[in-house]
Amino acid sequence: MTRQLAAEKMADAPEVSTDWLTAVQRWPDDAARDWTLGAIKQAMADETIEAIVATGSSVRDVEFSEDLDLVYVYQKCRPALPRPPISIDLRGYEEAEVTQKLAEGHDYLSWTVRYGRILFERGCWWTNLRAEWNDRLSLPSVSEACSRAEKAKFLSMELREAGDEDAADELQLSSLTHTCRAALSRAHIFPRSRPELDGQLREIGEHSLADQLVGALERRRARQRIQP
Spatial separation of the C-alpha atoms in residues 19 and 26, rounded to whole Å: 14
- pLDDT over threshold 70, residue 147: yes
Nearest to 71 by CA among 34, 32, 117, 28: 117
Spatial separation of the C-alpha atoms in residues 197 and 190, rounded to whole Å: 10
Q: What is the pLDDT of residue 14?
A: 56
- pLDDT over threshold 70, residue 6: no
Domains, the chain, ranges and CATH? Answer: 2-133 (3.30.460.10), 142-226 (no CATH)
Query: Confidence band (pLDDT; 50, 70, 90) for 228?
Result: low
Query: Confidence band (pLDDT; 50, 70, 90) for 64?
Result: confident
Q: What is the pLDDT of residue 15?
A: 59
Angle, nearest 10°, between helix axes 165-186 and 142-161?
160
- pLDDT over threshold 50, residue 1: no
For 129-141, what is the mean pLDDT?
Answer: 93
User: What whole-number percentage of the chain has pLDDT above 70?
Assistant: 89
Q: What is the pLDDT of residue 22?
A: 80
Q: What is the pLDDT of residue 3?
A: 36
Q: What is the pLDDT of residue 221?
A: 81
